[in-house]
Amino acid sequence: MKLESIIEALNNGEIGRVSELTKQALDEGNGVKTVLDTLIKGMDDVGAKFRENEIFIPEVLISAKAMHAGLNILEPLLSASGIRPLAKVCIGTVKGDLHDIGKNLVAMMFRGAGFEVMDLGIDVPVEKFIDAAKQEEMNIIAMSSLLTTSMGVMKHVIERLKEQGLGNRVKTMVGGAPITDEFARSIGADGYAKDASSAVEKARELIGLHKKNK
């Protein structure tokens, strides 16, 4: 089989076929890293189509589920092979906000791009983000808010990270309907993403995989 078949199935959201083709690729002697890179390439293609408005959130969600079908097969082998994630990301909807659809999509896209993700869920207080950063040694904290009343929590998290001496080690990202790049800069966030696809690009940039656009 051609590895491109996995990319095609992922783009089409064929969950069972992605699982089947992932197993087949391994059985035919392809390395775990090679198959993982193929899945990531497929999800990158989905992200690019999403950015260009060629597909929409329902299609992205289905493709993300297909990606996870492949990852579920690879995960035990990845650990055994010593292949490490790109970085560790902690994500959550901040205290006072119970919205999670966008946050869940971003988390899935992060996993699909090769990041290890800790999802803290919704209504997450400041100290829970800080504890994750310290105890789990997170590289990135990604915060979501869809309510203007909860946006201020993001600033408090960033301030607490600095107070704890974590401001240089842990990068911060913010997003959500009322969030803007200007707001992100005003609270000292390291990055802003308007959607799930650009969140992946920003996370890669923050850990040094992509150069910042000038």
195: its two tokens: 């959607």
58: its two tokens: 């329902």
Amino acid 34 reads T
Examine the residue annotation and report whether 190 is marked as an active-site residue of this protein. no
165: its two tokens: 């001496």
- Catalytic position from the list 63, 97, 119, 190: 97
Q: What b/e readout covers 82-117, taking b as 16+ CB neighbours within 10 angstroms?
A: eeeebbbbbbbbbbbbebbebbbbbbbbbbbbbbbb
CA distance 144 to 173: 9
CA distance 187 to 14: 41
- Catalytic position from the list 150, 190, 197, 198: 150
CA distance 193 to 110: 13
Examine the residue annotation and report whether 97 is marked as an active-site residue of this protein. yes
- Catalytic position from the list 5, 44, 45, 99: 99
Sign for the CA dihedral angle at 99, 91, 143, 213 comes to: negative
Would you say 26 and 73 are in contact if contact means Cβ atoms under 8 Å apart? yes
For tokens 């060629």, what's the residue?
A: 54
Examine the residue annotation and report whether 99 is marked as an active-site residue of this protein. yes
Active site residues: 97, 99, 150
